[in-house]
Amino acid sequence: MIRKIVIRGIQIGDNNPVVLIAGPCVIESESSTLEAAERLKQITTDLGVPFIFKSSYDKANRSSIKSYRGPGLKEGLRILSRVSRELSLPLLSDVHRFEEIGPASEVLDILQIPAFLCRQTDFVTEVAKTGRVVNIKKGQFLAPWDIKTAAEKAASTGNERIIITERGVSFGYNNLVADMRSLPIIRGFGYPVVFDATHSVQLPGAGGTASSGDRQFVPHLTRAAAAAGIDGLFMEVHACPDKALCDGPNMLNLDDLPVLLKQVQEIDRIVKQ
């Protein structure tokens, strides 16, 4: 039995329709963030897809010291608060440091633990203590069954509002592989499972001073994950990925999202009948 988690009326898990978590990788500007959120809300409303907006106020795990990281905690949370207030959207963003947890929990509906931090016991438990929904990104270095202990750490605080996101596993140098077997394995732990379709096509460090990616494979992996049975779909999207300040090579163009979401809905209905 998969737990059901309710986030501002959106139900994820317990055989409910797939939920979309999407947005630009990082906040590039206030106007572009609002524009992306508005467009995503319109697309998902038209299709009847439950939607949670995602964007990062600070990307602390960039390949290069010169990489764009975002506007920072204070300004980023202010922009996300405006998105939530004006568009009535639930929010997800990642936290990287202990001092971010308190302020972020006052604004975000879901606190995301980055893949590289999923084994940091004290950090995982401190995030869970906020009582907010916790989305644990499975590290690229973990087997599917290894993420169960991270969920147990979060649950030890009494907070069982936990989501687990698969984002591929390291395979050789500068490459990730999305093993669809991991989705039912992780789902077997009883927590809603999300598939990260865009980070799964990332090529870490392959750009020299930045990561690269194979955007062309996003639709294929997305459809495969929906067929394997998922509770949510995580995607970073952009109006012009080739001009994005962060993770452009693996982000999906917003124009390509509606058709792909329709396909996901059809597959999801078949799987969950």
Residues 232, 238, 244, 249: what is their CA dihedral angle, to the nearest 10 degrees?
Answer: 60
Q: How far is CA 273 from CA 16, 84, 100, 268, 270, in A?
A: 10, 33, 41, 8, 5
* Tens-place pLDDT, residues 216-270: 999 999 999 999 999 999 999 999 999 988 888 889 999 999 999 999 999 999 9
Domain spans in the chain, listed from the N-terminal domain onward: 5-271
pLDDT in tens, 86-101: 999 999 999 999 999 9
Of residues 268, 139, 248, the one with CA closest to residue 201: 248
DSSP summary character for residue 144: G
Q: What is the pLDDT of residue 249?
A: 83
Average pLDDT of the segment spanning 26-52: 98
What angle do helix axes 121-128 and 98-105 make, rounded to 10 degrees?
20
**Over 60: is that where the pLDDT of 206 sits?**
no
Instruction: Judge if pTM exceeds 0.85.
Output: yes
How far is it, in rounded angstroms, from Cα 52 to Cα 9? 11
Position 173 scores a pLDDT of: 87
Angle at 46 between CA 44 and CA 50, to 5 degrees: 35
pLDDT of residue 47: 98
Query: Does residue 30 register a pLDDT over 80?
Result: yes
Percent of the chain with pLDDT over 70: 97
Q: What is the DSSP letter of 1?
A: -
CATH superfamily of 5-271: Aldolase class I (3.20.20.70)
Query: Does the pLDDT of residue 209 top 70, yes or no?
Result: no
Q: Which of 128, 88, 87 is nearest to 110 (CA)?
A: 128
β-strands 232-238, 212-213 pairing: unpaired
On the question of pLDDT at 63 being above 90, the answer is no
- On average, the pLDDT of the chain sits at 94
Query: Tokens 């090529």, residue?
Result: 203
Contacts of 29 (CB under 8 A, 6+ apart): none
Helices (H) and strands (E) in the chain, counts: 8, 15
Q: What is the mean pLDDT of residues 74-93?
A: 98
Indicate the burial class of 17 (C-beta count within 10 angstroms; 0-12, 13-18, 19 or more).
middle
